[in-house]
Amino acid sequence: MPLAHRQYDSALVLSPAGRLDHDNCEAFREELAPHLERSAKEGTAIVLDLSGLEYVSSAGLRCFMLAAKQAKAQNSRIVIASMQPVVAEIFQIARFNLVFEAYPKVRDALASLSPGAVAAFDRG
């Protein structure tokens, strides 16, 4: 799964796309791992921009859970933004809405993280 990324000041926006399921969840974890490590080292927060994610299975949700656990263990933050309606419903049914802070838009997520991040986003 391609994992596009953009840096906004002290926040990193990662954008998984397509479907996240049993077939590609390990590849997604491998893509995510260096970003989580960097987040710990540099103190950056992560925004998962899910606007391009069409579907997530339980295996994909597990990847998100592991990322949330790692972020908590290393005292960093990981939040979610821009879920498509189907993915938002799946998050709700699986009670992942209780695991992650979720924001309607990436900008809202960045604003929750730091003034510098949202200022960098607004500058484009």
Query: Residues in the site for another protein, rule: CB under 8 A?
Result: 22, 55, 57-59, 61-62, 65, 69, 86, 89-90, 92-96, 98-99
By beta-carbon proximity to another protein, the closer residue of 5 and 22 is 22
> Minimum distance between the CB of residue 94 and another protein, rounded to whole angstroms?
4
- Residues 8, 43, 69, CA angle at the centre, nearest 5°? 105
Closer by beta carbon to another protein, 43 or else 55 = 55
User: Which lies closer to another protein via its Cβ, residue 98 or residue 123?
Assistant: 98
Q: Cα 55 to chain center, whole Å?
A: 14
Question: CA separation (Å) from 111 to 7, 80, 108, 117?
Answer: 14, 12, 5, 7
CB of 68 to another protein, least distance (A): 8
Residue 14, phi then psi, degrees to nearest 5? -110, 140
How far apart are the C-alpha atoms of 68 and 36, rounded to whole Å?
10
Q: How far is the CB of 43 from another protein (least distance, A)?
A: 25
